[in-house]
Structure 1
Amino acid sequence: MGHATNLGLNRDIILSTAEDDWSVALIYLGYFIFAVPSALLILYMGTTIYLTIILLVWGSLSIGMGFVKNVPLLLALRFLLGMTIAGFFPGISYFISSCSWYSGFRHRENGWNWWSRELAMALYFIGIPVVLLGIATFLFLDKISNPLRFLQPAEREILINNLCDEMEPDANEPEEKHYVQWCDIYSVLSSGKIWLFAAICVGNSAVTKYWIAYFPSLVKYIGYIDASESLMSSPPYASACVFALVGGLSAARFNGHGYHMVVFDIISVIGFALMAAFEGSSKVAVYVSGCFACSGAYAAFALLMAWLTINVSGRIRRTLAISFVVGLGQIGGVIIPFINDKSSVPDFHRIHITLASLMFVSMILTLLLLVIFNRQAKFRMENQLQVDEEANNVQCAELFVIG
């Protein structure tokens, strides 16, 4: 909605402040409500059919927003759009976790004026590729069986054999089980660690939703207009991509997702604090600080999802956990519109302080989760040492008797 507002949406569909807030919040409210039900539908319908349906509906709704004539229709489409896209992320995660080549690694009004026509074309260009992607998903997704064609046949065979050895079913999820049971849902909803993951996700989600909805307005406030506005909205995402890739590789190399998340949370907190401090004095400093704030939050979110999948066993429970955590995290997107100041002379100081506080709370919760996991690992290690010691004592006693 950030770019849509700057392209003249409020001039064509007269939105009050409350209606503008709800136009942003409703998409995340729909996501929040439909997150877990969408995961259940994925598990029952299969990824190919479900992803095809949601991509076609997603694209159609995006195109339909180009024909919106009144506020109720806009709000309804925003809510339906949130319900639709709720299943995309867990659906992709479930598909990837089901692939043999990846699973072992464990782990996205008529009569427009000139500005209105530009906005309509933007919505069309967003929606049409999504519809085409939905058609391609239906035609080709099931045919992706072995994409490791860049490997030599012998190398591919060795890798697949190793992955098959790593994919042995655990005691909690037999190999032949491909359906959801109430115990799966209960195990996810009753886990304190899953709720901690979700609470952390609320902070990260608030930042990402703010960036999507309001950063274009901040760029315009800084002084960039028209094409420059859209262009200058891109660098934070480019830097976030680099941060996420480097952080992901480093976390996988050193097996320290939680510690890396803390580092990126600190970067984001400092970035938002500097944005609040420099507002009104240095617009360049606000923009550069925003790049770091965005990069830290997005990288932390990527690591959060990876850390979650590593610590949840079984594809079904993993899909439910991802849906629940990401869905509950949308609360951050729901509350942000009602915190942001949208006066004629915008004041971003309050929202940046709020986001810095949310990321700080996320950092504290991440540290708490680290302590819990470290204590559990220490407890398991002590138990294993005790078992090994008892086994050695029994073996020594048997040798003594034989001797």
Structure 2
Amino acid sequence: MNDLDLVRTMRADAPIPSQRRLDAGRERLLAAIGSSSPAGGAGRTPRRRFGGVRGMVLAGGVAAVAAVAVAVQVGVRPVTLNTTPAAESAKYTDLMVERAAFGWLPDGLRANGYVADRQGKEFFQVTAQEGKAAVTLTVYGRGKEPALPHLPGGVPGRRIPAEPVNGRPAYWIFQPDPNGQSSFELRWQYAPGGWADLEGNGLRGDGAELTRTAYRIAESATFGGARPIAMPLHVDGVPGGLTPKRAVLDKGAFGEVSALLEFIVTGPSDGMSITATKSDGTMGTGVSGRPGKSVPGRPRPNTKLNGHPAYRSPSLVHVYGVNGFDIRISASGSVLARLDKTGGVVGLFNRTTVLGLDETNWTTNPVN
């Protein structure tokens, strides 16, 4: 399973194993997008596969903004909605940068899913998925070789000898099966101190054909890029001093279009998440069991915000049908306290510009 999986059975510092079942693939990105919310809001966000990236505080200088005019873009012209209390302006850069890229891919596949994770051991991941076939490339932050994952059933992973990739050491974590097993995972050292994993699922061919496919993909992959990846929203007034935790972008992998930005301060109980998910035209029906408890699934609207059906609570806002997306913002702890000075989570929504489904309108500067 790739890094859009949320497997909770592993220790926090160990990689999570590949799931080897393509029918679970769609849940990978859905789980990354749909279940994210800081603790104290809608429940603690599960960690993503390889434990994640070392957090980096990217907040720059802070300047007061007298009033922020908010726009939700309709077509190509933003429409001003209203203003909110003065909000901080802090700089957060490189939230989603293409640290690794595919070269050659089998016919019909293209890169359409990305994860940048800064929890623990840093990694960037790109997925190409179509139908039952999926390929995922993961590059880790420079340093020690990542821990071996456990295999399905909790079996400890082991290094299976493999031919070098571009002359550098490599080994299989899960080797193509001569009987036609369609999954594999290959790890190699692409540079001194630099490690990468390549996973394949649902690809056609016998063991020898899948081995050739894996090596052709691995040998043509590139690393160390700095191209920013555009996202479908822009949010103003995110407080300074936060640590970017994770960014996820799905551009059609497993049938979804969605984006996620997460930030923390000192731990999971002090954080914020901002999610945009392509609207399916429906609204949630979830209700809280009792006051103070989180709402399961998508919440039932209890108000309207800027004309859109919405659910609103002190720590969570979920707004339906905003320029093609459903928007969810949650915050907790000290982050929520700081947001409350500028209108809370609703104020942050009012400072959000949703850029629609046309990727040519998306921005490489999603925050502030």
Higher fraction of helix: 1
TM-score tier by shorter-chain length is under 0.3
Bigger radius of gyration:
1
TM-score (norm: length of structure 2):
0.27
* Bigger fraction of residues in strand: 2
TM-score by length of 1: 0.25
